[in-house]
Amino acid sequence: EVQLVQSGAEVKKPGESLKISCKGSGYSFTSYWIGWVRQMPGKGLEWMGIIYPGDSDTRYSPSFQGQVTISADKSISTAYLQWSSLKASDTAMYYCARSYSSSWYNWFDPWGQGTLVTVSS
Amino acid sequence: SSELTQDPAVSVALGQTVRITCQGDSLRSYYASWYQQKPGQAPVLVIYGKNNRPSGIPDRFSGSSSGNTASLTITGAQAEDEADYYCNSRDSSGNPWVFGGGTKLTVL
């Protein structure tokens, strides 16, 4: 069974750093992209960025470039999303998802269960 | 603001057919994928490509595309189909991917 398992919920203070994880299993981790998606409370899905664990090629949405860092450790089939200095506005649910794309279509499947990040003083 | 535009809310009577649309320039040359999200749950892929359903997705879900509009059709909507639906495709401004704003489907 293809599965992505994310790390648990986090409660942090503004200015603190954080790294959350997404561990893949049941497939070749280095053969698919892993994307990260933000969902703020009561809002829609926002694509943040994507990484190809095979060679660490990484792309960011302009909205998130410089705000977060995406990385991966293929030796343990795990992708990461990290912040160096959290803000209250980073409070959201964060999802990872396996991604495939071709010249005509793409998909994100499956999705991790989500990691809730709460930033509050 | 999203480069893919969806109606915020749509309703359908139980057992009837409903179409959820997604508009954007990138859809003229790239198919949309569609995701269902129920409250408190992670999104689930329901349609991708021209009209492909992942394993386990009921055949009442189908996809189509014309010009700059992609559509997700549910034929014979069930109570369990009540959810938020999001389209995803290329971003016409050059970013790899973008999601539509989402459509809340209510089954009456």
pLDDT tens digits for B8-53?
A: 999 999 999 999 999 999 999 999 999 999 999 999 999 999 999 9
- C-beta of residue B25 within 8 angstroms of C-beta of residue B92: yes
pLDDT > 90 fraction of chain B, expressed in percent and rounded: 88
Label residue B91 by pLDDT band (50, 70, 90): confident
Asked if the model's pLDDT at residue A51 lies above 90, the reply is yes
User: How many beta-carbon pairs below 8 A join chains A and B?
Assistant: 73
Query: Would you report the helix, strand and coil content of chain A in percent, each value rounded to 5?
Result: 5, 55, 35
Asked if the model's pLDDT at residue B94 lies above 70, the reply is no
Residue A101 in tokens: 């794309």
Contact B96 A47 (CB under 8 A): yes
Which residue does chain B place closest to A45, by CA atoms?
B99
Which residue does chain B place closest to A50, by CA atoms?
B96
Contact A106 B48 (CB under 8 A): yes
Instruction: Find the CB nearest B88 among A108, A112, A113.
Output: A108
CA distances from B24 to A19, A91, B42, B84 (A): 34, 29, 25, 19
Residue B87 in tokens: 């389209």
Q: Going edge to edge, which strands form the sheet with B18-23?
A: B5-6, B18-23, B69-74, B61-66
**Averaged pLDDT for residues A74-93:** 98
**Averaged pLDDT for residues A72-86:** 98
Asked if the model's pLDDT at residue A31 lies above 80, the reply is yes
**Averaged pLDDT for residues B79-102:** 90
For residue B41, how far is the Cα from the chain centroid? 17
**Averaged pLDDT for residues A24-49:** 97
Which residue does chain A place closest to B33, by CA atoms?
A107
